[in-house]
Each structure stands twice: as structure tokens, then as C-alpha cells.
Amino acid sequence: MAKVTYVRPDGEQVIVEVTEGTSVMQAALANDISEIVAECGGTLACATCHVYVDPDDLGRLSTPSTDEEEMLDYTASPRQPNSRLSCQITAGPELDGLVVRLPPTQY
């Protein structure tokens, strides 16, 4: 299990225990985190699961794939150097304590 903190645009923090192998997107949906829309269900086709990863945590993540890099160009909220698609972040013990900030809009 990994604890992931989702920070809503208003600053509210929601801490979720995420089972190993579950994506940060799936955990958000299962815990009613409405800022993650995930229209495509995690197939890397919509960019509506965009998050901003805490800069201190970026080094713990794998490098984004070429497909993810391309989809990040279509996010509704401005892309930042720490932007990722939460469907592409899979929880494991190495991500315990991960902090992701939710953008103000996914549309």
C-alpha cells in the first residue's frame, strides 16, 4: 500500500491508501475525487486525469512515455514541468507519500 495525498484546487487534502498496482487515477475514482474525470478510463486517450506531481516526488516516478508526453499537450489546465496523467502512475511502496495537486479543470 502507498498513501497518496490529493490536493484539491481549494487546498483541501484527501489522503488515500492505494493498493499496489492500482493507478493514481483509479484510486481517485474509487474515492470520489471528482477533480479526476478519466473519460477514457485510463487508456491514455483523453488527458482528463491530469495532475501536478509535487516537485519533490518527480524523481520517484518513471519517465513519461512518448504517448503520455503527447497527451499532456491537450490538458485543459496549463501543462507544467510537473504535469503527469494519473492513469500512468502506478502505486507501489516506492510511491508511499506521493503528493499530487489537482488542476482547477479537466475540460
pLDDT digit string, tens, across residues 63-104: 999 999 999 999 999 999 999 999 999 999 999 999 999 999
The pLDDT score that the predictor gives to residue 72 is 98
What is the pLDDT of the chain when averaged over all its residues? 97
**Mean per-residue pLDDT, 15-34:** 98
The pLDDT score that the predictor gives to residue 68 is 98
Residue 54's φ and ψ, nearest 5 degrees, are: -55, 130
The pLDDT score that the predictor gives to residue 35 is 98
pTM tops 0.85, yes or no: yes
Percent of the chain with pLDDT over 90: 100
